[in-house]
Amino acid sequence: MSQAVHRYEERAMGSLFEVRIAGMDELTARGAAQAAFEVLHRLDRELSRFDPTSAVSRIARLSAGDSLRLGPAAFECLELALEVFQETGGALDVTIAPLLDFWRQVGPDAKVEDVTLAGLYERVGSELLRLDRASRSVQVFADHVQIDLGALGKGYAVDQMIERLMAWDAPAALVHGGTSSMYALGAPPGWDGWPIELRHPEEGRPPLEVLILTNQGCSGSGALLAEPGSPSDCHVVDPRTGRPARQRPASWVLAPTAGRSDALSTAFLLLTVEEVETYCQVRPEISAVLVDNEPGGLAVHRIGKYFARKD
């Protein structure tokens, strides 16, 4: 069996997606990657805010009270988003777009009255969405609720690509979207898992941590990990307050799927260390690395079973 790691790249969802496959001959690996990218491009159309025919664009055109039947991808993404919204007290909210737009316009230091924000909240808040399993539909409770699945959509796509690679019997594969959402399947020959470096938030420093991952999703969020060109100032508006928040420089999450690790790494930018610890106790399949700016310098918190095992 070949020892080589085959690498393939394609662009979608505003990111460069990469598929690495080990333990397979090149011709088969190429076929498997092709099947994975086919799924990626289909999901890009189904979940994109920029395609007027996508499920999220169609939801944005609904009026209060309307329902829309959803295909499996959009339904599963919203199901996950609403679950994490509830679990984290609203720290992840996929309906936050109008607030982001607002703060981008006025600037993060503008004095804004609560009443102004309350007006924006008429269209913001995941309570405005209700999923109905029986009819596989979403109902909205306000006009024109905008949904931006953001990283969660990328993570979901990574999971679906991995599912395809498994259907092709790929023994070991790493799939990532723009390096911020990934899933590690199996282990390359001679390794216990796929080595993943967590980049130090300060330029030029050695990696913060090297994780060895197998059959696990991993995602990172934070200003320093943001894609180049993203509006960094207002990148984080706390959905719980409607105001720009001082986020921690970085958070990484390990989870059974890349979709969930993506949803949580966004939420964990805003939760306190204690809240994340509680979360990881209740959900032992989740581990996290949080980086905080503290008076003495950067503090790194390694939380959850993955790190307990190592120590």
Partner 1 sequence: MEEKKTPVTRRDFLSGMVAAGATLATARLAAAQAVQEATAPAVISSATAAVNSAEELRVAMIGPGSQGRTLLTNTLNIPNVRFVALCDIWDYSLDYASRICQKSDQPVNTYHDYREMLEKEKDLDAVLIATPDFLHAPMTLDCLHAGIHVYCEKEMSNTLEGCRQMVVAARETGKLLQIGHQRRSNPRYFLGEKLLHKDKFLGRVTHAYGQWNRLAMEMYGWPPGREIPADVLKAQGYDTMERFRNWRWYRQFGGGLMADLGSHQVDIFNWYFQCAPSRVTVSGGMDVLQGDREFPDNVMAIYEYDTAWGKVRAYYQVVSTSSFNGYYELFLGTEGTLMISEDPTKGFLFKEVSAPKREWEDEAKKVDSMGKEAIALQVGASRKQGEQKAEAMKEEEDANKPPHQLHLENFFAAVRDPGKVKLNCTAEAAFETAVSVLMVDTAFKNGHSYAFKKEEFKA
Residue type, 221: S
If binding is defined by CB under 8 A, does position 116 make contact with partner 1? no
Single residue of 48, 257, 265, 266 touching partner 1 by CB under 8 A: 257
- With 0-12 CB in 10 A as exposed, 13-18 as middle and 19+ as buried, what is 83? middle
Single residue of 7, 11, 65, 232 touching partner 1 by CB under 8 A: 65
Residue number with CB closer to partner 1 (126 or 221): 126
If binding is defined by CB under 8 A, does position 168 make contact with partner 1? yes
CB distance 114 to 182 below 8 Å: no
Cβ atoms < 10 Å from Cβ of 244: 20
CA dist 13 to 45, 60, 175, Å?
Answer: 9, 18, 14
Q: How far apart are alpha carbons 240 and 130 in whole angstroms?
A: 19
Residues 229-248, one symbol each (x = binds partner 1 by CB under 8 A, - = not), give ---------x-xxxx-----
CA dist 240 to 99, 160, 270, Å?
Answer: 11, 31, 10
Least Å distance, CB 43 to partner 1, is: 10
CA dist 165 to 121, 187, 295, Å?
Answer: 41, 14, 46
The three-state secondary structure class of 308 is helix
For residue 142, give the nearest of 69, 63, 239, 70 by alpha carbon: 63
Looking at 42-50, 196-204, 222-230, 246-254, which segment touches partner 1 (CB under 8 A)? 42-50
Least Å distance, CB 52 to partner 1, is: 4
If binding is defined by CB under 8 A, does position 256 make contact with partner 1? yes
Looking at 101-109, 159-167, 186-194, 221-229, which segment touches partner 1 (CB under 8 A)? 159-167
If binding is defined by CB under 8 A, does position 283 make contact with partner 1? yes
Residue number with CB closer to partner 1 (296 or 309): 309
Looking at 105-113, 196-204, 226-234, 283-291, which segment touches partner 1 (CB under 8 A)? 283-291
CA angle, 108 then 113 then 117, to 5°: 75
Single residue of 12, 159, 219, 234 touching partner 1 by CB under 8 A: 159
DSSP structural state of residue 303:
E
Least Å distance, CB 7 to partner 1, is: 16
Residues 172-211, one symbol each (x = binds partner 1 by CB under 8 A, - = not), give -----------x----------------------------
If binding is defined by CB under 8 A, does position 20 make contact with partner 1? no
Least Å distance, CB 207 to partner 1, is: 26
Single residue of 20, 59, 100, 125 touching partner 1 by CB under 8 A: 125
CB distance 91 to 241 below 8 Å: no
CA dist 198 to 172, 205, 210, 290, Å?
Answer: 21, 11, 6, 11
Residues 76 to 105 in contact with partner 1, rule: CB under 8 A:
76, 83, 86-91
Residue number with CB closer to partner 1 (133 or 310): 133
If binding is defined by CB under 8 A, does position 28 make contact with partner 1? yes
Which token pair is 251?
């958070």
Looking at 166-174, 187-195, 219-227, 289-297, which segment touches partner 1 (CB under 8 A)? 166-174
Cβ atoms < 10 Å from Cβ of 271: 21
Residue type, 53: T
